[in-house]
Amino acid sequence: MYGGGPATWKVIDNGIVVDISGAPTPSTNTWYHIRIDFEHTTGGYQGLGQNEYYVYIDGSRYGPYLLETSLSLEELHLHSYSWGAGYNVYFDAVGYSWDPGYNISDNLNEGLLLDFKSKNLLEWKAYSLDDQNNVSIIGSKVIPFPDDGSHIIQVFANDSLS
């Protein structure tokens, strides 16, 4: 799968490069969550037939497309073609479903994980980013990444019952 210039996303469908019909137009300075589900055995994973794959862009599914070979998958290539000066492509947080610690979309909403334990029963927990209003916490909380630069994160808790 690759961006086909600043205007289209493309995939290889049974050996032929095709546009992903209905996919959003790639935009400059934008992160996209890309997911690829493929089935290389007898079929059934995520509803796919043998040697088929789906592509998801920001949660929208496209396909199925045919893998161009029925041989085993030994490598996966993700790349872009040169679009001229000033274009860069970055891949971040690649995960594999056969990794026992992986969950589908577990890297979709990345940020700062706030997770702590207390010996005392806490009635209330909250955090504040850069002295803004407190945000209540129930369980673990992923705080969206703030803008670049220095920031202050304060964590508050009330254990008046202990």
- pLDDT the model gives residue 61: 96
Place of tokens 């040169």: 82
Place of tokens 């790349």: 79
Give the pLDDT band (50/70/90) at residue 96. confident
Instruction: Give the single-character DSSP code of 45.
Output: G
What is the distance between the alpha carbons of residues 126 and 155, in angstroms, rounded to a whole number?
Answer: 6
Q: What share of the chain is helix, strand, coil (3-state, %, to 5)?
A: 0, 30, 65
112-139 per-position pLDDT tens digit: 888 877 888 888 899 999 999 999 988 8
Cα of first residue to Cα of last residue in the chain, in angstroms, is 56
7-48 per-position pLDDT tens digit: 688 888 998 989 999 999 888 778 888 888 888 888 788 999
Structure tokens at 145: 């990444």
What is the distance between the alpha carbons of residues 141 and 131, in angstroms, rounded to a whole number?
Answer: 18
- pLDDT the model gives residue 53: 93
Average pLDDT, the chain: 81
Structure tokens at 27: 């935009």
Residue 82 has pLDDT above 70, yes or no: no
Residue 159 has pLDDT above 90, yes or no: no
Report domain extents, the chain.
Answer: 1-108, 111-158
Question: Among 144, 142, 108, which residue's Cα sits nearest to residue 33?
Answer: 108
